[in-house]
A and B are shown apart, each in its own frame.
Chain A
């Protein structure tokens, strides 16, 4: 069974930093691209970032480019999101989402984690 378990969400002050983690199991992690998708309270879904299997392809939404860094450790079957210079508008539940393919060029998403809440507030 595919499982994606996010952790690391917390309340931080504006300008602060946070790193989210996603532990994957139930599939061969190193053969799948991975994305982060967020959802602000009461709002819709917003794609944040993507990384392919070898980290040779990495993409970011314009809203987070230059502030967030996606990475992965295939040996640990884990995905990460380093978030710097956080703003109140980054407040959201952050989901770890699997791409059924390796390079993301088809843009398909399939399995979602339960999400972890990040609150940016003073």
Chain B
């Protein structure tokens, strides 16, 4: 499978909202409601922020939200805080018990 497509970078000022897109195909994002999002800080492992397109695990701030339309999923971070600065990756189930990931988006808090 080809990697999911994400913008290389997004930025916003504290308190603003930013949205990161994740575009796949009808073989992954478009078919399955198993899209997840991860936050990764330098030298650390990815941390699950959103699962099943919209579900926030316990402990993840409600400033993080997910959605999907067609072959594109999105992660929105509202009320940006300095601590949100990190790399963000999307992931979709791609059938046959495999996953496909995005190339990553660097979120900068100005």
Q: Does A associate with B in a complex?
A: no
The residues of B with any CB-CB pair to A shorter than 8 Å are none
